[in-house]
Structure 1
Amino acid sequence: MRNPVSKKAIASALSASLVLILGGCGGMPMNNPSLDSVHQPVVSRTNYTLDITTGPSGISIPEQRRLAGWFEALDLRYGDRITLDDPMRSGASRAAIEAVAGRYGLLVGDEAPVTPGAVAPGTVRVVVTRSTAAVPGCPDWSAKSDGTLHNATSTNYGCATNANMAAMVADPEHLLKGASGQGVTTVMSSTKAIDSYREAPPTGEQGLSKNSTQSNSGNK
């Protein structure tokens, strides 16, 4: 003879099954119902410093070579910012450093960031500020399921787009503030390369003309 099952036992079993089913759908945060990614590029700055010995006439040739070697070791590139911490405000020293920085197509700024230690007398501190961009926490597969009853956005949403943007941007500072105008229109900037290509003389033009003349004379 079978033992009768009480209604209370059946209700308890159904409740436990429901909890297990809903528990399997958990793991998805319900705090982002928008289409904005919670993972955004973060810009970090690193300061590199080099103290250069100066004199009454500015910076000596050996010190300029040391500065150029330091720039080469840093792989100085577009997006880096060069500033000077010079308590004496020496125009000759600044001009010498600007000449070295100009070889890399960079200008020297006016306001240097705060760096550890004081600048010793008779020296000028060259500061190179380099910015990098990255998206922390990506990829984010922390959610255990894509199911959500609140139409929430996936935790990994936007990771690929924002990570690619952070990796491809030439100057990470532009993610914080766009590039300022340089007094020229967008059309003038975009056509500069085209105009340079059109106005430049063809490579080997003289050699081709001379060879063509000699070739025609030989055929006669």
Structure 2
Amino acid sequence: MKTRILSLLLVIFSAGLLTACADSNGHWSDAETRKRSTVEMVRLSHPLYFAEGSTELSAAQKQSLQTFFRDINVGYGDSLSMDVPLDHAGHVSDIDQKRHASIAEYLKKRGLMLSAEFTPYGIALAPGNARLVVSRYTVELPKCPDWRQDSSPNYANATTSNFGCAHATNLGLMVANPKDLVVGQTYDGPHAAVAAKAVNKYMSGGKKKSSSTKTKTSASSGGGQK
């Protein structure tokens, strides 16, 4: 009996030694994608109903629209557009054009901009109905931290499984509009030359010599010469 127990303990001990010596990188492949955030565009829609022949939303419809904006926390980076019924030729009717202009003016007063382009989205709409479409970019952060691979020894001088985690995660958390991670924006900020000009003007007291002062100075200088 004791011999059997000792044999069993020896087997368990040997298995433990083999596990300790196993490669801890068994679940990591150098061919795996490097750590980066994933950006995706999603669209959220809200139905709009107009009375027959009307181009304005009712008070109830406006309240419903405001509730929708509050629920999705509409704001910076969101793109707003409309989807309206199209005729057989794919054209927008005159009344739907006026409805679009009415919605654009309504949103403008609330600090929101409606795209001039229509966005077909979902099933075809019945006459008198419309759809407000909010296009938004979202960012999905990489699965971090990732310590599946030991940082040392690293005889191949290869990047570790956790390489890029801090950069990709923090950039994804900081960016105000995830779309900028894909497309970017044209710089339209302060110009260094303009800023330097303002500083020079401040340092000089902001005084400029008038033309009369310059003329008087020149005349005085010329009179002293022989």
Q: Select which of 172, 177, 183 maps to 1:171.
A: 177
Q: Structure 1 residue 40 and structure 2 residue 36: aligned? A: yes
SS in 2 for 1:109: strand
Fraction of identical pairs, as percent: 27
Residues 147-182 of structure 1 show CA distances to partners (whole Å, capped at 9, x for unaligned) of 22210111111111111111111111111101246x
Residue 58 of structure 1 aligns with which residue? 55
Q: Structure 1 residue 100 and structure 2 residue 106: aligned? A: yes
Code of the aligned partner of 2:55: G
Q: Aligned pair in 2 of structure 1 residues 30, 125: CA closer, same or farther (>3 Å)? A: closer
Task: Name the CA distance, whole Å, in 1 between partners of 2:118 and 2:146.
Answer: 38
Q: Select which of 150, 161, 164 maps to 1:155.
A: 161
Q: Select which of 187, 191, 212 maps to 2:190.
A: 187
Q: Aligned pair in 2 of structure 1 residues 120, 180: CA closer, same or farther (>3 Å)? A: farther
Shift of 1:133: 0.8
Task: Name the CA distance, whole Å, in 1 between partners of 2:124 and 2:64.
Answer: 21
Q: Aligned pair in 2 of structure 1 residues 96, 73: CA closer, same or farther (>3 Å)? A: farther
Counterpart contact for 1:57–1:92, Cα < 8 Å: no
Task: Name the CA distance, whole Å, in 2 between partners of 1:44 and 1:113.
Answer: 18
Q: Aligned pair in 2 of structure 1 residues 121, 31: CA closer, same or farther (>3 Å)? A: same
Q: TM-score, length-normalised on structure 1?
A: 0.63
Shift of 1:143: 1.6
Residue 195 of structure 1 aligns with which residue? none
Code of the aligned partner of 1:67: L
Task: Name the CA distance, whole Å, in 2 between partners of 1:68 and 1:100.
Answer: 11
Q: Aligned pair in 2 of structure 1 residues 146, 103: CA closer, same or farther (>3 Å)? A: farther
Size of the aligned set, in residue pairs, is 165
Q: TM-score, length-normalised on structure 2?
A: 0.61
Give structure 1 stretches of 5+ with no counterpart. 1-18, 192-220
Residues 88-127 of structure 1 show CA distances to partners (whole Å, capped at 9, x for unaligned) of 4523211222233324533112445553322222111100
Residue 222 of structure 2 aligns with which residue? none
Shift of 1:48: 1.1
CA RMSD, Structure 1 to Structure 2 (Å) = 3.0
Larger radius of gyration: 2
SS in 2 for 1:173: helix
Q: Structure 1 residue 68 and structure 2 residue 74: aligned? A: no
Q: Aligned pair in 2 of structure 1 residues 48, 57: CA closer, same or farther (>3 Å)? A: same
Counterpart contact for 2:39–2:138, Cα < 8 Å: yes
SS in 2 for 1:130: strand
Q: Structure 1 residue 141 and structure 2 residue 147: aligned? A: yes
Shift of 1:80: 0.9
1:1-20 matched pairs, under 5 angstroms: none
Code of the aligned partner of 1:123: N
Task: Name the CA distance, whole Å, in 2 between partners of 1:93 and 1:175.
Answer: 34
